Amino acid sequence: MFDSRVVRRRRAALAIFVVASIAMLTAFFGESGGGVFHTLQRGAQAGLAPIETGASRALKPLRDLGGWFGDTIDAKGENEQLRGEVEDLRRRLGQSATDQRDARQLRELVDLQRSGGFPDATEPLAARVIARSPTVWYSTLKIDRGSGDGVREDQPVIAAGGLAGKVTSVTGGTAEVTLITDSSSAVTAQVMPEGATGIVKPEVGKPDDLLLDFVQRGRRVREGATVVTSGFSSGEIRSRFPRGIPIGKVSRVDLEEIELYQRVHIKPFADLRAIDLVQVLTERGEPVAEASAP
pLDDT value, residue 292:
35
Q: What is the DSSP letter of 272?
A: T
Judge if 157 and 247 occupy the same domain. Answer: yes
**Which of 114, 147, 171 is the C-terminal boundary of a domain?**
114
Please tell me the distance from the alpha carbon of residue 32 to that of residue 72, in angstroms, as a whole number: 51
Q: Is 78 helix (H, G, I), strand (E, B) or coil?
A: helix
Higher pLDDT, 137 or 107: 107
**Is there a domain that residue 228 lies in?**
yes
Total domains, the chain: 2
User: Which structural domain range is residue 206 located in?
Assistant: 123-282
Read off the pLDDT of each residue in 191-197 and give the average, rounded to a whole number.
Answer: 86
Q: Is 106 exposed, middle or buried (0-12, 13-18, 19+ CB in 10 A)?
A: middle
- Which pLDDT tens digit goes with each residue over 48-87? 566 666 666 666 676 666 667 667 777 777 777 777 777 7
Residues 133 and 259 in one domain: yes
Tell me: do 258 and 143 sit in the same domain. yes
- pTM score of the predicted model: 0.63
Are 109 and 181 members of one domain?
A: no
For 125-155, the pLDDT digits (tens) are: 999 999 988 765 668 999 999 999 999 999 9
d(CA 269, CA 159): 9
Q: Higher model confidence: residue 9 or residue 156?
A: 156
CATH of the domain at 188: 2.40.10.340
Q: Is the same domain home to 259 and 206?
A: yes
Peptide bond into 287 cis (omega under 30): no
Considering the domain architecture, whether residues 129 and 186 belong to the same structural domain is answered as yes
Within-domain flag for 24: no
98 and 43 inside one domain? yes
Q: At which of 75, 93, 114 does a domain end?
A: 114
Using alpha carbons, select from 108, 175, 128 the residue that is nearest to residue 278.
128
274 shares a domain with 138: yes
